[in-house]
Amino acid sequence: MSKLRCHISISLDGYLAGPDQSEEHPLGQGGERLHGWVIPLAAWRRSHGEQGGEVNQSTPVVEESRQNIGAAVMGRNMFGPVRGAWGDEQWTGWWGDNPPYHYPVFVLTHHPRDPVEMEGGTTFHFVTGKEGRRQQGRHALGWRPCRSAVPGSGVAGRA
C-alpha cells in the first residue's frame, strides 16, 4: 500500500495562502509570509533550480519530505490562477518549463484537460472525480509515497 505525505504550510486559523491570488501574487496578497520558513532554505532553493540558501534545523525535514516520491497531488489553485474552463490551455503552472517535481503531478479540478508534459519528468494530470484520482494516483505511485499539497479534507481524508 502506498503512503500519503501531507506537505503544506498552513496557518493556525487554516489558511494556505493570502487572498486575491493572481499571476503577480501566486500565494495571494501576503501569502509569502506563511512560507517564509522554507523559501530561504538551500534544500528548497536547490529543488527550484536556485543557488545558495540557509541550512538550519528545518533542512533535514525539507530534504526528507522530497525523498522517494512517486507522485504529487495538488489543488487547481496551486497549479495556477486560471478559474473556470481552461480556455486556450496556455497556462502550464507557476514554475516555468522545468517544475521542481520530476514525477507525475495530479491536479484536482472540476474541468477536464489533457496532460501537460514538462521538462525534467513532470507531467501534470488533470483529474476529476474520486475514482479517477484513485486509479491514476495508485497506478503512478506503485509502492512509493505520494506528496500532497492539498489540505486534509482535500486528499488525506480520501486517500
pLDDT digits (tens, 9 = 90+) for 90-115: 899 999 999 999 999 989 899 999 99
pLDDT of 151 strictly over 70: no
Which is nearest to 49 in space by CA: 107, 103, 101, 122? 101
Which is nearest to 43 in space by CA: 51, 35, 33? 51
Please tell me the predicted confidence (pLDDT) of residue 159: 44
Terminal C-alpha separation, the chain: 11
155 versus 150: which is more confidently predicted? 150
pLDDT of 157 strictly over 50: no
Looking at every residue in the chain, the average pLDDT score rounds to: 82
List, in sequence order, the alpha helices (H) in 13-129: 42-47, 59-65, 76-79
pLDDT of 140 strictly over 70: no
Q: Is the pTM of this model over 0.85?
A: no
Please tell me the predicted confidence (pLDDT) of residue 133: 55
